[in-house]
Amino acid sequence: MKAASVKELKIELSSKSPKELVEICLTLSKFKKENKELLSYLLYEAGDEEGYVRSVEREIDAAFEEINTKNFYYFKKGVRKILRMVKKYIRYSKKKETEASLLIYFCKTLQNNYPNYKRSTALKNLFTRQIGMAKKAVASLHEDLHFDFIQELELLQ
């Protein structure tokens, strides 16, 4: 089965009644956990972006507490898993401010709690890439927010 383009889907969805749209959304939410998470974000958390960021930060903290630090291989795998989770939440939001905030928080947590990440070239490069991505997101923000985030980024380096 070939998937329809976004334009075709948009046209088709605009022709549906509200009741049919609800059924389509509920059916979609049954198939993948990510669909359900995205729907939950759009319905409950999209209006309160600061609350959303705080809840993701708590989830990052909880994930870092559960990480296996005894074996460096599992530590690297755990850090990558946490980063994938952060990227997923950034995709849900689509806001540059949220992206910058979550990436900075991830880097800050990694640096403050696990300074031995510098032993691994892969983790150092991962950290550097995330700082670069945060800088790129900050560059597109309003000047007032830009200044605040730049100060935080300078503390990380």
What's the pLDDT tens digit per position in 86-118?
999 999 988 899 999 999 999 999 988 887 788
Q: Is the pLDDT of residue 144 over 90?
A: no
Rounded to two decimals, what is the model's pTM? 0.86
Per-residue burial over 41-77, b = 16 or more CB atoms within 10 Å of its CB, e = otherwise: eeeebeeeeeebbeebbeebeebbeebeeeeeeebbe
φ, ψ (nearest 5 deg) of residue 140: -95, 5
Alpha helices, DSSP H only, in the chain? 6-14, 18-31, 33-40, 49-66, 72-93, 96-113, 121-139, 143-156
Model confidence band, residue 150 (pLDDT cutoffs 50, 70, 90): confident
Model confidence band, residue 5 (pLDDT cutoffs 50, 70, 90): confident
Q: How many CB atoms lie within 10 A of CB 37?
A: 14
